[in-house]
Structure 1
Amino acid sequence: MNKTILLKNRPKGRPSTSDFAFIEEEKPAPKEGELLLKAKYVSVDPYLRGRMRDTKSYIEPFKLDEPVESGIVAEVIESNNSNFEKGDFVNGMLQWKQYQTSSGNGLNKVNKETAPLSAYLGVLGLTGITAYLGLEKIGNLKEGETLVVSGASGAVGSIVGQIGKIKGCNVIGIAGSDEKIKTIKDKFGFDEGINYKTTQDMSKALKKHCPDGIDVYFDNVGGEILDAVMNNINKYGRVINCGAISLYNESETPTGPRHEGTLIKKSVRMQGFTVRDFVKEFGPAISQLSTWLNEGKITFSETIVEGFDQIPQAFLDLFDGKNKGKMLVKVY
């Protein structure tokens, strides 16, 4: 039998395990031109929360009573497609199923000899590509500038900070525990870190750690931390709006400070960033990230939960910050 995870309800506020349903069905057989895939690693990411709303966005919302999908590394179990062989490993956007068939469209072969399979969902997958292209397309980092990163110990944020150091920047990370602050400094090379959970005045803390102001802010959380950054942004500063996890579970749109005046007076560039807008540049991004990884200039952290049945809970744990780096589920 084959297990599948469906979206049962559209969450109101914070999601729960009751919003998902498990079903069992017969394991599929590949038709001519198709592959049979077995999931090995499943990526769970904060942006999936947005797809659970029935609203228009940059990507189609999930449909009720149909499988959830995300980035998955899978093994080719059977192949009726000349482009793939049994035993190949691939990654792509796939459904939360133990086994599934595919035409091969949208799948990329990955080499487990070059890097661990899990890395192709993290530093060498959309995570790393997001960090790299967000900085390249909007950040336009210059040596000696100050880069601030929120969600700094997370999958994207930890890569952003390391690229900042490669570029010769002063890098400040914001994360949610003293342990995470120690990690971003000791493992990822951040210059300083701020624990937002124990900081009473974020604007003041940023001013202390960024005495020359902030040139680039890579935003993964939105909300009050963004507000504090804008109080310290420099002339011609750049803000990359990549994520807003602090707002994802809000049932109503929060109201905060108005930043138009700051944007105008300081000629600040604030731009929303969706990595899928730059699909044609994924290849060069992966090539550069692979080079840095092989040279030891970047590293990565993973939180790996084991068991297909744990996928929904692993997703929910993101909102409690239980992950260090990329959150993945290893499927037996």
Structure 2
Amino acid sequence: MTEYVIETKNLTKKYKDKKVVNNIYMNVEKGKIYALLGKNGAGKTTTMRMLLNLATETNGEIMLFGSKPNNETYKKIGAIIETPGFYENLTAEENLEIIAKIRGHYQKEKIKEILHTVSLDNSRKEYKNFSLGMKQRLGIAAAIMHEPELLILDEPINGLDPIGIKEIRRLLKKMSKENNTTILISSHILSEIENIADVIGVMDNGKLITELTKEELHEQLNKNVEFEVSDIDKATTILEDMGLHKITDYNIVESNTIFLYTNINLRDKINEIFVKNDIRVKKMNLNEENLEEYFTRIINPIELIA
């Protein structure tokens, strides 16, 4: 039986007359990395704030770990929402020591281990002198220091350099696979989300417009086969004889290049027929839409047509 760590039903948040979160039904399975995507103002951060009891829902229901959340529930959660707050005149280690003592689980060696994990173990700077990337690393350290069962991370890799992004990606994957930690994450770096997410939810204008696994996403991505051939007229005649039609099934994009949109599983057979008919195939590529292109297509279909 599937175990859900986060369940929302009809979750709604209104500010004055505007619904910034509109009737959200979300299910996040235990141990999975769930990515919440959307443009600025789509309702992602507000949804996360309601899950953490930082904002009160106007309507609907939230279930965490199978029941309505209480004070004990939130002890099992680590989070970064917007800019993490720390003491400006303290170092990374000193800030984490204070947080650990407040939480009641101070362990000096654990703090050093976490700082090493986020590559801040050699920093002696005060927080006010941190770069944006260092601040994000410290925020992640504070969120995972108590080994939470659920992580809620709003733009956690904002400001990180490519090496830092890779390190955090590796850390989140490890927590998910080895510790069975459930992770809800938002990010504008869609290529990174494509690398780590098990499930993707897309929000637009406060609504969750789609929710799909990585496998389901792959099925929905637009695909085409690119043929670069020596004789475009002969090649298109062969496609027409096979019952394929220009525009709907294929198109000529350059003087010697055909994009095949349908019957993609027949690409090897088509290539073989081309060769048998003395058509040299200089290139045959299977092209697939990436997550950024898919996201743009479903969020802004009118812009793509324009």
Query: What TM-score, normalized by structure 1, do the two folds share?
Result: 0.26
Query: What TM-score, normalized by structure 2, do the two folds share?
Result: 0.27
* Structure with more contact order per residue of length (Cα contacts < 8 Å, sep ≥ 6): 2
Bigger radius of gyration: 2
Structure having the larger proportion of residues in helix: 2
